[in-house]
């Protein structure tokens, strides 16, 4: 009986710039313009399917970081920064300019972090944007879209299906409850919940 020479698929691979991951189910590679520290891993190059950053460093990752089933969607001028000892599981980072994540941050499944609205807010602007993006439109005539960096400080936990919107800073040690929509800053050590997110009393075990 013939022996297969195909590499066995493994759960995680070292996050190595420019690498093709052996046994990866997605036929892609890790972008060359990333910097990653020791023992940082990723499950598939599919995480970079919408990574279009063109800068010298489009993604900077610290040491001992796990990126699992997480979409790292970055526009051409974007930079995503992730500190040490972070775990991102099935989340989505959507970055036009900058998303900065500190160390010891846990991001659960279904979380979305975005530094832009990606469309105008007012009705007239939305119509103009739709026209500019149409097949007969002119993309250079798109109305201005709001963009503000997102900063998540050290030791933050973000629960299932939470959404972090543009311009938000989440202070060190804060907790974002599952399904919360965060549209304003969260002070350090505070737990928030709801839509829009508001401070709630911290639960103790």
The pLDDT of residue 19 is above 50: yes
The pLDDT of residue 120 is above 70: no
Which value, to the nearest 10 degrees, does the dihedral of the CA atoms of residues 86, 88, 54, 22 take?
A: 100
The answer to whether position 172 is within a domain reads yes
Helix, strand, coil tally for the chain in percent (to 5): 10, 30, 60
Query: Which CATH number do you get for residue 166?
Result: 2.160.10.10
Is 64 catalytic? The answer is no
User: What is the average per-residue pLDDT within 41-66?
Assistant: 97
Residue 119's pLDDT band, with cuts at 50, 70 and 90, is low
**Token pair of 7, please?**
């590499």
Q: For residue 4, what pLDDT is reported? A: 47
The pLDDT of residue 144 is above 80: no
The pLDDT of residue 194 is above 70: yes
The answer to whether position 127 is within a domain reads no
The number of folded domains in the chain is: 1
The answer to whether position 12 is within a domain reads no
The answer to whether position 199 is within a domain reads no
The answer to whether position 163 is within a domain reads yes
The answer to whether position 80 is within a domain reads yes
Burial class of residue 179 (count of CB atoms within 10 Å of its CB; 0-12, 13-18, 19+): middle
Q: For residue 63, what pLDDT is reported? A: 98
The answer to whether position 196 is within a domain reads no
Q: Which of 119, 128, 149, 154 is catalytic?
A: 119
Structural domain containing residue 58: 25-118+146-189
The answer to whether position 59 is within a domain reads yes
Share of the chain above pLDDT 90, in %: 74
pLDDT tens, residue by residue, 92-111: 999 999 999 999 999 999 99
Residue 33's pLDDT band, with cuts at 50, 70 and 90, is very high
């Amino acid at each position: 009986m013939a022996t297969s020479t195909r590499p066995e698929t493994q759960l995680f691979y070292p996050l190595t710039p420019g690498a093709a991951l052996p046994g990866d189910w997605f036929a892609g590679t890790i972008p060359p313009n990333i910097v990653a520290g020791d023992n940082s891993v990723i499950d598939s190059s599919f995480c970079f399917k919408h990574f279009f950053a063109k800068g010298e460093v489009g993604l900077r990752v610290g040491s001992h970081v796990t990126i699992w089933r997480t979409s790292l969607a970055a526009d051409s001028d974007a930079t995503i920064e992730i500190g040490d000892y972070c775990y991102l599981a099935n989340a989505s980072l959507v970055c036009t300019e900058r998303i900065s994540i500190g160390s010891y941050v846990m991001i659960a499944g279904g979380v979305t972090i975005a530094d832009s609205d990606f469309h105008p807010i007012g009705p007239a602007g939305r119509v103009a944007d739709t026209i500019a993006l149409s097949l007969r439109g002119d993309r250079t005539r798109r109305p201005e879209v709001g963009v503000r960096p997102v900063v998540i400080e050290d030791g933050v936990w973000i629960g299932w299906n939470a959404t972090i919107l543009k311009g938000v800073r989440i202070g060190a040690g804060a907790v974002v409850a599952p399904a919360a929509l965060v549209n304003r800053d969260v002070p350090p050590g505070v737990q928030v919940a709801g839509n829009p997110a508001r401070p709630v009393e911290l639960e103790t075990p």
